[in-house]
Structures are given as structure tokens and as C-alpha cells.
Structure 1
Amino acid sequence: MVYKISEYKDRTSYKAMNPQLMTPPLRKTNSNVSVSPQDYPKLINEVRKAIEKHTSIDKIKQKLGDEYYRCLSDQSISRYLRARNWNVKKAEKMLEASLIWRVNYRPEEIRWEHVAAEAETGKLYRSSFLDKQGRSVLVMRPRCQNSKSTRAQIKYLVYCMENAIYNLPPEQEQMVWLIDFHGFSMSNISIKSTKETAHVLQDHYPERLGLAILYNPPKFFEPFWKVVKPFLEPKTTNKVKFVYADDPNTKSFMESLFYVDKLESAFGGKNEAKFDIKLYAERMKSDDAKRLASHKGESSTSTPLGRASTGSVFNNMNTDSDSDGEKTKSPEINEEEMLAESQKIANADGGGTGARIEP
């Protein structure tokens, strides 16, 4: 069903006029136990205590230093609990997997010079402005893909996520993705990269996505979307909105989310500035220096950071999971059939831009 922008506007306006609707309702966990906001501190402490009892926790603390305590903050644990519908056991399992991932991947140590080549074309970058809710805005342009290395692409994705989180205001946890499909072609499609991207974002950055706006996706993107959707959790797909420039409601929708003077013209805004790799590099280097100073300051009174070896004892965990935190088997994918179907749509539709996608 195509997302109706007018419905979004009506809902947000209704909530604004009825503040009582902003109070979190009782939530049902997978064990059919109702959870109220008053229970949240107790559940957060349960997850923290469970993690602290793990036999490998001392090694994890030593490797992560202060990063460990950031991961076990109330805000962080709350995100894992929300991702697992307030199920303590599943949130604990998910958080442990993320701690192990951080020990091995060391995302906080990735610097601009490590990923600069991936950023050259502006395929993914943090915008210089926030949305009206104070959320970081990440802009993606699939047509600007300049790498065939999934490993390099994911490393740059992680760098962008860490940078976007670092730049969030204290009261905000989430970010917005703006995906510009102008010039998109089937050569930009990669099931492998998309699957790995979904895995990293959902399993290690839970509840960080506030909204993903797919702007003017062509009709031939539809078969790809049908293939990708099973990799995404229902909570994630509900945050994906298909938006079209020729929709009469698009202007009001975008204006409800962004300041028009700051929003890029590619998304209907008035900002005509183009991505400049030199200016962006300076911004990122400046952020790196601030982050490094921040980490050093915090680490001075705690266990020094260590680096995990290639043969780390933390490498043996399978972290693939579905929305309930259970292991899930990836669906069988016939990429050739998907590409053939996309090409058929593109040929019949004069490039595939003349019809809407039914998400």
C-alpha cells in the first residue's frame, strides 16, 4: 500500500493537539506480559545485570574501555529492549552480540582517512542540517556508488553512523535517511551489500532509524524492494516511506519534516549547494578530532582500550536475527530473475519512472 502523506500530516497534527497521546501505552512482550513505562527502569537494570554475569564480560570490558559503559547506558539498553519488544532475554542476547561485534570491528576507531575513497562521489554523507525534530540527516545517492567491495562499503556505512550519532543533540537518539533515486539504474543493485547493510543497522544500531524517505524510486526498483523486504524487520519497513516529487502532498510532507531553506533542492528544498568532497572532508576530520579527544578524556580514568586479535574468542557468535531476536534463515534469492523482472518493467515503462511502487 502506497504511503499517503496526508495521513501522516493528520496523525502528527492530532497528536500535537492531544498531548496525552504522547504517553507510551502498555506494551505486550512476546511472553504476553504487559509492560508499562514504570517498568522500564527495572527491565533496563535486568538486562544490565544479566550482561554483567557473562563469563566473558571482563575481557569485553578490557577491550572496549569506556565504549562498554556507553553501550550499557540506560538509553542504549532501552533501544535494545524496544527492538526486542521489551523482552529481557532477547534484548540481552542482542546487546551481547553487539558488544562482541564492537570488540572485533572497533567502529569508534574508524577515521576519515580509512574511508575517504568511499566518500568521494557523495554516495552517502551526513547533511549539515538537522530535521525539525533535531535528528541527524543522512543523504544517500545509489547512482554515485563507486565501489564493488562490500567490506569497504560497510566500513564507510559504520563510520557514517558513528559520526551521525556523535552529532545528535542530547535529547535525540534517531536519524533520518534521505535516499535520492535520481539516475538510479539496475547496475546500482547489490543484494549482498543491501543484506549486510540491513544486518549491521538492525542488529548493532537498533532504534536509530526515525524515518527513511525513498525519493522518486523508479518502478523497476519494485522487484528489488520485494526481495529486500524479508531482510528487514517489520518495525523498519514501517519507517520506510515512498515519496514522489509529482505528488501534490509531497511539498507539505517535506515541509513538515525539514526547514525548506536548508533542505537540498533535490528533495524539494531551496538549498542549491552541491556535495563538495573537500568541504566535507574538513568537517569529518574536525569531527574525528573531537571524538578522539572525547574518548581520550573519558578513557584517562578507566581501563585502557585494547584491540581484539584476528582470532578473537568473540568471533564465534551468529548474530543473524529477526524482529523477535531469533535466528532466521535468509530467503532463497534468484538474483537473475529479479534483475530480469526489473529490466522488463524498465523496458515497458520507458525507464521505469512512470508508475508508483506498492510497498
Structure 2
Amino acid sequence: MNPQLMNPPLRKTNSNVSVSAQDQPKLINDVRNAIEKHTSIDKIKQKLGDEYSRCLSDQSISRYLRARSWNVKKAEKMLEASLIWRMDYKPEEICWEHVAAEAETGKLYRSSFMDKQGRSILVMRPKYQNSKSTRAQIKYLVYCMENAIFHLAPEQEQMVWLIDFHGFSMSNISIKSTKETARILQDHYPERLGLAVLYNPPKFFEPFWKVVKPFLEPKTTSKVKFVYADDPNTNNFMQSLFYIDRLESAFGGKNEAKFDIRIYAERMKDDDAKRLASHKGESSTSNSNNITLRQASTASEFNQTNTDSDSDGEKTKEEEMLAEAHKIATADGGGSAVRIEP
């Protein structure tokens, strides 16, 4: 007998554990079967509808397994929490009207082009933060994640984050929002991040990174790359990832186009219509009507909570480190770029 058939080669994954291609289907089915045995599963199925099948697909379960190093029990627990979150939060039903106020400055948006691997690109510019409501910020983040995932090719699961630190200041820092962002992305969108490019972070960002890093899993921090325009290797690095003619000039590309909220709004409205049709089916008029009513209700709730203030509570070690960052920023007039080890 062919020894390769008896001992199939280990397939490398994004986790720290290698699992043979032969064993992966069994682990995926183990998670699915465990979820199906939960006493509350009928209620979850009823609430999620078609979304339940997508969450329990082989591809989806595989991401949760990879995020938990192929540990079936941990992946099951993680996926169950996500199912409950999706049932309550209804991320697939968030539409442009619910988040338009958060989007208007261009602080976060999906780029109109992909990287060389066909991954969606989310551009973030913290300088343009326009809200003090963590709840509203997270709702917009979830909307952007759902939109970026919708545009991924069937064979692609991950996306790229491009973060432009031009004009970044201490007023753009919120520990509370950062913690919640990390929690949502890691708990409910596992293995969706392919790469995060932090472009020209200033000197005072280093203490902030020390605060943020413990919130992130090691696999996540390994995907964070600090890139500096004055580094001789930067051009080669960016060219290896992106088509320079399409890449925005702010990141060293040749695309001079600027964010236009009117154009972007039309793109997102068109995407919403396509997503709704894809998720629920165009033939189900009653379902569409019900969703429209729920969306209107959500929009009303959003308008009421968009002004919620963001307070991080009592003084902590985190605040002390941010005070250190403030001293650095004050000392050098805002802080020039500095090499930061991820």
C-alpha cells in the first residue's frame, strides 16, 4: 500500500496546530453534531433562518476550529456564542441607513479594489473619528465586516486592513472602543483577518500599542505589520501586496481618488439590496417586508443611541500608559513615526 495513503501529509493551517486533511472533516462534523444537540438549537434555527446554515457550513466551522487550534470543545463553545450573538444582534440586517452618520467622514470604508490575493480591503483613518458612541461605532464596524465578507470570492475567506495614521492624535484614542472592537472581531469573525497594515504610526502610538496588544490573540498580532513611508523596504512590501496603480496615494500608490460619501453611499445601498436578496431570497416577499420593518426599528434605536458618550471608567494602568503617550505627543509636537515592534 502507498505509505502516503496511510499517512497523509499534514496540512498547514493558520493555527499553531497542524491537522491532516483527512482528519479535518471529522472535526468539523464533531463540532456540527455537538451544536445540533444543544437544547436551545431549535430556537436559534428559527431565529436565524438561512443564516444558521451559513454559520454551520464546513468553511465556517473550519474557521472556528482554526481559531481554537482545532480543539472541538473550544470551537463548539465559540461558535455557539456567535450563533447567539447573531440571533440577538442581527448583523445581516444592518443597512446603510442605520450607519450612514458614522460613515460620512470616511473613517472606515471598503475599498473599491482587492489586493493581489483577491481579498477585500477595509481602509481605516482614525483621524476622522466622528462619534463618541462605542455602540454606534461597533454597529458600523459590523456593517463593514458583513459587507467586506459579502464581496469575498468563494475561495477567499480573509480581508486586509489598511490603517492610515496621518493626522492621528491622542483625541482619537479610546480604550473602551478598542477593547470592544477586538472582542467582536476575534469572537465573531475568527480567521477573517489576513493582514493589518499600520501605515506611519506616530511615536506616541507605542504606549497605546502596549495597552492594546494584550487584548489580541498571538495569531492576530502576528498579522499586524508596521509600515513606514521612509523605510526603503516599504515600496517593495506594498507592491508585493497591492496593485500600485489602484492603491491610494496615502499608502504609496498612484490612485489619487479621494473618499466621496455620495458615491460610497450609492455603492453601499446597492450592496444592501444584493445582500438582502442573497441572504433571504428575492421570492420571499413576506420575509422582505418583515426585515424592512425590523430595519426601521433598528434605525430608530440607532438614532437614539448615536450620541451615547464613551467613558472608560476608573483610572487604570491603561490610563497611565496613555498618559505616557500624551507626554510623548506633547514633547515632540504630535510625534513623528517611530519603529514599533509588533
TM-score (norm 2): 0.86
- Matched letter for residue 239 of structure 1: K
CA distance in 2, matches of 1:171, 1:239: 20
CA distance in 2, matches of 1:354, 1:27: 32
- Matched letter for residue 102 of structure 2: E
CA distance in 2, matches of 1:136, 1:35: 27
CA distance in 2, matches of 1:344, 1:223: 11
Query: How much does 1:358 deviate?
Result: 2.9
1:82 corresponds to which of 33, 42, 66: 66
Q: For the Cα contact (< 8 Å) 2:105–2:128, is it kept in 1? A: yes
- Matched letter for residue 317 of structure 2: N
- Asked if 1:352 is matched to 2:335, the reply is yes
Query: How much does 1:348 deviate?
Result: 3.4
Q: For the Cα contact (< 8 Å) 1:27–1:36, is it kept in 2? A: no
Q: For the Cα contact (< 8 Å) 1:81–1:91, is it kept in 2? A: yes
Instruction: Give the match's secondary structure for 1:130.
Output: coil
Q: For the Cα contact (< 8 Å) 1:131–1:258, is it kept in 2? A: yes
- Asked if 1:62 is matched to 2:50, the reply is no
Query: How much does 1:265 deviate?
Result: 0.2
- Asked if 1:258 is matched to 2:242, the reply is yes
1:234 corresponds to which of 194, 211, 218: 218
Query: How much does 1:297 deviate?
Result: 1.4
CA distance in 2, matches of 1:234, 1:177: 17
User: Which residue number corresponds to residue 156 of structure 1?
Assistant: 140
User: Which residue number corresponds to residue 122 of structure 2?
Assistant: 138
- Matched letter for residue 189 of structure 2: Y
User: Which residue number corresponds to residue 76 of structure 2?
Assistant: 92
Q: How does 1:208-287 map to 2 (within 5 A)?
A: 208-287=192-271
Q: What 5-or-longer segments of structure 2 have no aligned partner?
A: 1-8, 295-314
User: Which residue number corresponds to residue 49 of structure 1?
Assistant: 33
User: Which residue number corresponds to residue 169 of structure 1?
Assistant: 153
1:126 corresponds to which of 92, 103, 110: 110
Q: CA 1:138–1:25 in 2, change beyond 3 Å: closer, same or farther?
A: closer
- Matched letter for residue 96 of structure 2: W
Q: For the Cα contact (< 8 Å) 2:14–2:66, is it kept in 1? A: no
Query: How much does 1:347 deviate?
Result: 3.2
- Between the aligned residues of both structures, percent identity stands at 83
- Matched letter for residue 96 of structure 1: E
Instruction: Give the match's secondary structure for 1:343.
Output: helix
Instruction: Give the match's secondary structure for 1:162.
Output: helix
- Matched letter for residue 165 of structure 1: I
Q: What 5-or-longer segments of structure 1 have no aligned partner?
A: 1-20, 308-331
RCO higher in 1 or 2 (8 Å CA, sep ≥ 6)?
A: 1
- Matched letter for residue 101 of structure 2: A
4+ residue segments displaced more than 4 Å:
25-29, 303-307
Q: For the Cα contact (< 8 Å) 1:84–1:90, is it kept in 2? A: yes
Instruction: Give the match's secondary structure for 1:38.
Output: coil
Query: How much does 1:23 deviate?
Result: 4.7
- Asked if 1:337 is matched to 2:325, the reply is no
Q: CA 1:299–1:50 in 2, change beyond 3 Å: closer, same or farther?
A: farther
- Number of paired residues? 312
CA distance in 1, matches of 2:16, 2:252: 40
1:1-55 deviations in Å (ceiling 9; x for gaps): xxxxxxxxxxxxxxxxxxxx995279876xxxx7322100000000000000000
CA distance in 1, matches of 2:325, 2:14: 43
The Cα RMSD (Å) is: 2.5
Instruction: Give the match's secondary structure for 1:242.
Output: strand
1:249-274 deviations in Å (ceiling 9; x for gaps): 00000000000010000000000000
Q: CA 1:28–1:185 in 2, change beyond 3 Å: closer, same or farther?
A: closer
Instruction: Give the match's secondary structure for 2:160.
Output: strand
Q: CA 1:287–1:335 in 2, change beyond 3 Å: closer, same or farther?
A: same
1:283-342 deviations in Å (ceiling 9; x for gaps): 000000011111221895xx99898xxxxxxxxxxxxxxxxxxxxxxxx94343122201
Q: For the Cα contact (< 8 Å) 2:15–2:67, is it kept in 1? A: no
CA distance in 1, matches of 2:329, 2:15: 44
User: Which residue number corresponds to residue 312 of structure 2?
Assistant: none
- Matched letter for residue 292 of structure 1: L
Q: CA 1:299–1:94 in 2, change beyond 3 Å: closer, same or farther?
A: farther
Q: How does 1:268-347 map to 2 (within 5 A)?
A: 268-297=252-281, 300=284, 333-347=316-330
Query: How much does 1:56 deviate?
Result: 0.1
- Matched letter for residue 281 of structure 1: A
CA distance in 2, matches of 1:180, 1:26: 26
Query: How much does 1:75 deviate?
Result: 0.2
2:12 corresponds to which of 12, 16, 24: 24
Q: For the Cα contact (< 8 Å) 1:135–1:168, is it kept in 2? A: yes
